[in-house]
């Protein structure tokens, strides 16, 4: 199975150093914020897509949708746990809404691809929406139905929508990777073909 995060020199080696998993983010304890969870392939790229949106307070890279507790990056990448690389978005509902986040999600994934995104192949790189309540479920299903009618491409939308389950933050090394390692991030983003495919699907590539 192809694991194209390995495109980056030394990346997998650094990922195996056993860096501490998770970060304590004040946003996770704030009762005035709402939470959204999305999987869209490489979580570095999804963090970058959501990180600077109006109303978004914090975006955390991690793993969800699997059947084991506290999975490691290596276990998830090997396809052993059923988890997807994912992000959790903490946002101020007075400044942005879940519908706006869904629009950003759709335009940053290839919704025609099952169990892969761009150059990354395997169910751990699937695109999926994980809802946290009935309203999110309704809005997610509505947005998918509307997109099926208005999409600018011919292929069917295969992105799944499922109830949110346990979310496990990835190691600190992966958090906001695009900021910490901008050159390596841009190299990966380009060589994986993400921007090129998004432009092909939607007519223009989202800014990263």
E strand or H helix at 173? none
What is the number of residues in the chain? 208
d(CA 150, CA 104): 16
d(CA 182, CA 176): 10
Torsion of the alpha carbons at 44, 50, 52 and 58, rounded to the nearest 10: -80
- Do residues 123 and 130 touch, judged by C-beta distance below 8 A? no
Q: Token pair for residue 96?
A: 């942005």
C-alpha 181: how far from chain center: 18
| Burial grade of 145 (CB within 10 A; 0-12, 13-18, 19 or more) | exposed
d(CA 96, CA 8): 35
d(CA 35, CA 132): 8
Q: Choosing from 42, 45, 119, 192, which is the catalytic residue?
A: 42
Q: Token pair for residue 15?
A: 């990922």
Q: Token pair for residue 208?
A: 């990263």
45 given a catalytic annotation: no
Active site residues: 42
């Amino acid at each position: 199975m192809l694991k194209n995060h390995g495109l980056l020199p030394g990346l997998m080696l650094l990922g195996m150093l056993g860096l501490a998993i998770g970060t304590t983010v004040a946003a996770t304890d704030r009762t005035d914020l709402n939470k959204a969870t999305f999987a869209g392939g490489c979580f570095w790229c999804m963090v970058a897509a959501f990180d600077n949106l109006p109303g978004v307070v914090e975006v955390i890279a991690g793993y969800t949708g699997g059947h084991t507790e506290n999975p490691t990056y290596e276990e998830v990448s090997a396809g052993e746990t059923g988890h997807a690389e994912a992000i959790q978005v903490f946002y101020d509902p007075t400044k942005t809404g879940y519908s706006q986040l869904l629009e950003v999600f759709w335009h940053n994934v290839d919704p025609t691809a099952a169990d892969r995104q761009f150059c990354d192949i395997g169910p751990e790189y699937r695109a999926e929406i994980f809802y946290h309540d009935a309203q999110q479920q309704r809005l997610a299903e509505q947005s998918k139905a509307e997109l099926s009618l208005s999409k600018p491409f011919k292929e069917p939308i295969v992105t799944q929508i499922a109830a949110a389950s346990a979310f496990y933050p990835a190691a600190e090394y992966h958090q906001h990777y695009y900021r910490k390692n901008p050159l390596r991030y841009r190299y990966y983003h380009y060589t994986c073909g993400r921007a090129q495919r998004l432009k092909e699907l939607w007519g223009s590539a989202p800014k990263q």
